[in-house]
Amino acid sequence: MRPPAAESGLQIPHAAWLEIRLGRMGSNLDALRAHCSKETDVLAVVKANAYGHGLLESARALQGRVRYLGVSSLRELLTLKENHIEAAIFVFGRLAGPEIRAALLDGVTLSVSSLEEAQEIAVVSAGLGRKTPVHIKVDTGMGRFGIPFREAVKVIEKIVLLPALEIEGLYTHFPTAELDDGFADQQLSDFALLIQALAQKGIKFRYRHAANSAGILRHSHPLLNMVRPGLLLYGIYPDTTLKSIIQVQPVLALKSRIMLVKTLTAGATAGYGRQFSAKKPTRIAVLAVGYSHGYPFNAWRDAEVLIQGKRYKLAGRISMDYMAVHLNDDTLPRDEEVTLIGENQGDRIGAEDIADWAGTIPYEVVTRLLGQLPRIYL
């Protein structure tokens, strides 16, 4: 059951929680659509619990507005189906052999990265009397799933002959879409050549796609007619250089409360490893968020939180379930709301900031947020 919405975190009986504004997700989708041509379809990526935002709630907010919802596992697929999500579902990656039969459901499209995989899906489909829609993935430089580019024409010619498959799309993936290193442009050129070579053999695809969030903003081609937004859909930038291209709003906020306020005497320390030492009598606050909730341990040296519109640094290392905040000389009450990700009285801390403090990427920050953290949908 969805928790009741509230105007303020102070009305929510949790020590730590996420606030998620689904309306912003819709606005971000509108901004992405405005950047693309009117003919462009959208495959909205909701894998990894919708990047920490909640798989079902995000899917409900997006269904009816996009061509596909993209997941990466059988479990995610079945969760959507069991909860009567009406949108067509696209499954990235490769399913284990025993999973294929369970995935062959109405409204489901699978990815194919090799002739052997296509044959395996075709055999199961034929046995069930079905015809399964698939998108063929081509490896133009990611070096992961996908038919190697130089082998693609010959392999695809064999795949399209499998009678139990409906060849619906062709796609590839950028490893450096956010960079201006020329590699993605070369990938697009190769992919376009492949589309044209296959078209000359009478093999055409309803959907042709390559662009993830960064790719949508930096790379386009007239032969492509679908995009795959992920991080930008949730209002987070894959790279700060993209902020000048499009304006999106963060959907998620991570909040906690002050559980305890105490004064350390001069010379007293806080946290494992005793990395924080009070130079004078110092007030600290203990928050009910730690690395078990998904907050990155490596952020502790530079991390800040927002309380009453003011920034406070951490006092020592992050613990499993808690962190300490240096209050300087300020007096703050127990139960005061604290913003770790999100907006607070005119200031904001983004997942991008935490990623920078932790030496990681914003994708990791949000996807690691604990599934058991209460998610309040506003």
Reply yes or no on whether 310 is catalytic.
Answer: no
- For 97-113, give the secondary structure using H, E and C: HHHHHHHCCCCEEEEEC
Q: Which of 47, 234, 322, 363 is catalytic?
A: 47
H or E segment to which residue 16 belongs:
strand 16-20
State how far Cα 100 lies from the chain centre: 25
d(CA 299, CA 323): 11
Phi, psi of 316 (to 5 degrees): 90, -175
d(CA 35, CA 217): 8
Beta strands in 124-275 (DSSP E): 132-139, 147-148, 165-171, 207-209, 226-227, 252-264, 269-270
Reply yes or no on whether 272 is catalytic.
Answer: yes
Q: Are strands 165-171 and 207-209 parallel, antiparallel or unpaired?
A: parallel
Structure tokens at 16: 């730590």
Q: Which of 51, 201, 272, 312 is catalytic?
A: 272
Residue 300 makes CB contacts below 8 A (sequence gap 6+) with 275, 314, 316, 317, 318, 323
State how far Cα 197 lies from the chain centre: 34
Q: How many helices (H) and strands (E) does the chain have?
A: 11, 20
Active-site residue list: 47, 272
